[in-house]
Amino acid sequence: MLKKEFTARLESLSKRYEQLQHELSKPEVVADLKKYKSLSKELKELTEVYETYREYKKLTKEREELKELLRGSEEELRKLAKEELESIDKKLTSLEGRLKALLIPKDPDESKNVILEIRAGAGGEEAALFASDLMRMYQKYAEENGWKFSVLSANKTGLGGFKEVVALIEGDGAYSRLKYESGVHRVQRIPTTESGGRIHTSTVTVAVLPEADETDININQADLKIETFRASGAGGQYVNTTETAVRITHTPTGIVVSCQDERSQFQNKQKALKILYAKLKDFYEKKKREEIAKERKEQVGTGERSEKIRTYNFPQNRVTDHRINLTLYKLQDVLEGKLDEIIDALRNRELETKLQKLEEGA
């Protein structure tokens, strides 16, 4: 059975759900589009909790009635009641777990789009080539989920790799799935550039940031230094002679972003600002976490970009996620965007940890 603390919270959320239903039926609320949207969103977020808890209470009541039948004298009724009770107990156990999971505070960024930044690390050209492989892997994963994948900025190498590539992944829940990908990805394979057939180890850094906008971050336009320059690389005469590329520097933090992939200066500026907003949101949130950790004298949690999170070993057809000691011998499948097995395992571990904290705090 659920603890009293859990039941009290569920009762409170149920009352709020019913209150919202009443509020949304008022003509003055319907007439106020902004308020109506806000309350509708809150109602939608509470719907699953409300309906699950209602089912839980219904089964709990049935359970009590069956326990009364077990105390009766008719053997046939007691036998039927016992069988039904076993079935209800299983359902209640399942619902309890589901309700506890629903009580875990949600990350407000869960449903957001993603700014994906992939950088070649140690390993020179081989690292740049693997950065290209990872970009393709995430592009495939986005396609499988019906998300839109578009490159915002890219710095290519001569052999087709990437020193750095930044992409926007648009789709409901993109951040909730891809947030586990932040960190150092290590590759072990024989590079195409290696004539001796030796296995090399290279690294690529991946950063997954929730897309941010003006409502998330308040930027003083006076703090932005915006420069234009000629785009380099392929693109013909237009690119080489026109200053369409844009570089934006946020002077208080020193964060610099640039974009040169579009033919229009305006489009490059919009893309650069999109990247900047996400980086600044990440910068200030990380600073806040560090301050809290310092006050508590604790280390900042895992998932930092400096941490080695995964190894891709080509000779053994192996992928190992070091955070949960998960090893899969299906490297090519993973590189083709089949990431759900890894991501689901990471999500389950996170859920277990949060549930444990919730139990301890209840």
Of the listed ranges 77-91, 97-111, 230-244, 345-359, the least confidently predicted one is 230-244
* pLDDT at position 116: 94
Angle 164-166-167 (CA atoms, 0-180°, nearest 5)? Answer: 145
Q: Which of 286-295, 336-345, 352-361 shows the highest mean pLDDT?
A: 336-345
CATH of the domain at 313: 3.30.70.1660
Q: State which residues form the domain around 78.
A: 4-103
Amino acid at 242: T
Q: Where is pLDDT greater, at 5 or 216?
A: 5
* pLDDT at position 52: 94
Distance from C-alpha of 334 to C-alpha of 160, rounded to nearest angstrom: 21
Confidence check: pLDDT of 350 > 80: yes
Residues 229-240, mean pLDDT to the nearest whole number? 52
Q: Quick one: 175 and 228 in the same domain?
A: no
Domain end call among 276, 296, 316: 296
Q: Give the residue among 226, 232, 326 at the shortest CA–CA distance from 276.
A: 226
Residue 148 lies in a domain: yes
* pLDDT at position 297: 44
pLDDT digits (tens, 9 = 90+) for 21-32: 999 999 999 999
User: How many Cα atoms sit within 13 Å of 288 on the Cβ side?
Assistant: 6
Confidence check: pLDDT of 288 > 80: no
| pLDDT above 90 coverage of the chain, percent | 43
Residue 109 lies in a domain: no
Confidence check: pLDDT of 298 > 70: no
Burial letters 253-274, b for 16+ CB under 10 A, else e: eeeebbbbbbeebeebbebbbb
* pLDDT at position 262: 74
Distance from C-alpha of 180 to C-alpha of 166, rounded to nearest angstrom: 17
Q: Quick one: 228 and 189 in the same domain?
A: no
* pLDDT at position 221: 84
pLDDT digits (tens, 9 = 90+) for 176-216: 999 999 999 999 998 876 666 788 899 999 999 888 866 66
Distance from C-alpha of 16 to C-alpha of 105, rounded to nearest angstrom: 16
CATH of the domain at 283: 3.30.160.20
Helix (H, G, I), strand (E, B) or coil at 25: coil
Q: Where is pLDDT greater, at 276 or 333?
A: 333
Confidence check: pLDDT of 238 > 90: no
Report the first-to-last Cα separation within the chain, whole angstroms: 14
Give the sheet arrangement for strand 224-229, strand by strand.
224-229, 245-250, 255-259
Residues 8-28, mean pLDDT to the nearest whole number? 94
pLDDT digits (tens, 9 = 90+) for 321-346: 999 999 999 999 999 999 999 999 99
Confidence check: pLDDT of 131 > 80: yes
The model's confidence at residue 292, banded by pLDDT at 50, 70 and 90, is: low
**Tokens at residue 275, please?**
């990247």
* pLDDT at position 301: 33
Distance from C-alpha of 300 to C-alpha of 291, rounded to nearest angstrom: 9
Burial class from Cβ neighbours inside 10 Å (0-12, 13-18, 19+) for residue 219 reads: middle
pLDDT digits (tens, 9 = 90+) for 145-177: 999 998 888 888 888 889 999 999 999 889 999
C-alpha 28 chain-centroid distance: 37
Q: Quick one: 20 and 146 in the same domain?
A: no
- Count other C-beta atoms under 10 Å from residue 289's C-beta: 12
Q: Quick one: 348 and 248 in the same domain?
A: no
Distance from C-alpha of 178 to C-alpha of 169, rounded to nearest angstrom: 10
Close Cβ partners of 323 (under 8 Å, ≥ 6 residues apart): 302, 309, 346, 349
Q: Quick one: 209 and 304 in the same domain?
A: yes
Of the listed ranges 4-18, 141-155, 274-288, the least confidently predicted one is 274-288
* pLDDT at position 83: 85
Q: Which of 12-26, 98-112, 268-282, 302-316 shows the highest mean pLDDT?
A: 12-26
Close Cβ partners of 1 (under 8 Å, ≥ 6 residues apart): 60, 92, 96
Residue 335 lies in a domain: yes
Distance from C-alpha of 117 to C-alpha of 275, rounded to nearest angstrom: 9
Residue 361 lies in a domain: no
C-alpha 55 chain-centroid distance: 30
What total number of domains does the chain contain? 3
Q: Quick one: 266 and 342 in the same domain?
A: no
* pLDDT at position 235: 41
Confidence check: pLDDT of 103 > 60: yes
Mean of all residue pLDDT scores within the chain? 85
Q: Where is pLDDT greater, at 26 or 239?
A: 26
Q: Give the chain's radius of gyration (CA, Å).
A: 26
* pLDDT at position 135: 96
Cβ–Cβ under 8 Å, residues 227 and 247: yes
